[in-house]
Structure 1
């Protein structure tokens, strides 16, 4: 399993030590003939690559799902959206106040 994950090259992007806060990569290994719903293995990719998790040998027809969860980060676009919405509400309030007088 570790060799397969290393060969894909996708793990290095999100699971480096300095990037652990960003992406969480989970690996699920299913064996259809044994169980269709419960994974044989479910672990973080980093733990598999470090050797902390004993992964079963891959067989033909096994299914390996690699899920990457990238948490949202607050960016300048988010701040700009908040500021412009606030400014629009203030201007609307001033117009309503001016119209009522």
Structure 2
């Protein structure tokens, strides 16, 4: 078990194992190897897909924080339930 652990640690310490330069096909220039148009399109698509996901996540987090603050105000002595649009359920939380 310790030999496997030692090999795992040594494989992940870059100072003990210098990186090995990969071998290219003969006649292939290392400067000419690029991701190309396909690589750009894939990365661009991932970025475009991530933008609405991150915006949705941020709006949901704002909503959760707002509900948390509203509930803490209700729980304080002398606190009043939040007012505004929406129906309050049996816990006093306002649903929109």
Q: TM-score normalised to the size of structure 2?
A: 0.32
Structure (1 or 2) with the greater helix fraction: 2
Of the two structures, which has the highest relative contact order with CA contacts closer than 8 Å and spacing of 6 or more? 1
- Which structure is larger by alpha-carbon Rg, 1 or 2? 2
